[in-house]
Amino acid sequence: MKSLLIVYHTGGVKTATMAAAVERGARSAGEVNVVVKRCADAGPEDLLAADGLILGTPENFGYMAGMMKDFLERVFYACEGKVSGRPWALFVGAGQDGSGAVSSVERIVLGLRLKRVHDPVIGLKELTPEVLSNCEELGTAFAAGLALGVF
């Protein structure tokens, strides 16, 4: 069975709520082993064992959260060249922007040569049912794609 790793950080509740929706969607697809970890608890072994990766971070100071950068710093050289071509996607919890978090994560993940298979889901201001539904859809589509081997 393919394995999907969801790694996220939250400083409050928003990105955690988005992560729960992504997880719910992924589990609803079935056929995929879903592993969810906070950035602080995840390491290179988790990424090496995963067939696909979904990252979630708040935008802080126009960038990804420091804990997400810490995770990426810890996994980068251990995983470089070993995860090339695996699918990945991103969700961001932000106040009014989110683009800095997206571009900063994308720049680093580009170096891991992962393949982006879904547009980033960005939740601005208060979380709406539509954003949570987009998060669920991301999880479902990603897990289904992994299970069917379409990525």
Ligand X SMILES: Cc1cc2nc3c(=O)[nH]c(=O)nc-3n(C[C@H](O)[C@H](O)[C@H](O)COP(=O)(O)O)c2cc1C
Check residue 122 for interaction with ligand X (CB under 6 A): no
Residue nearest to ligand X (CB): 12
Question: Which residue among 30, 62, 80, 128 contacts ligand X (CB under 6 A)?
Answer: 62
Nearest 5°: the CA angle 47, 113, 14 is 55
Interface region with ligand X, contact rule CB under 6 A, candidates 33-41, 53-61, 108-116, 143-151: 53-61
Measured from the CB atom, the residue of 9 and 86 that comes closer to ligand X is 9
| Minimal distance, residue 68 CB to ligand X, in Å | 11
Measured from the CB atom, the residue of 56 and 145 that comes closer to ligand X is 56
Question: Which residue among 14, 69, 86, 118 contacts ligand X (CB under 6 A)?
Answer: 14
Q: How far apart are CA 90 and CA 55, in angstroms?
A: 5
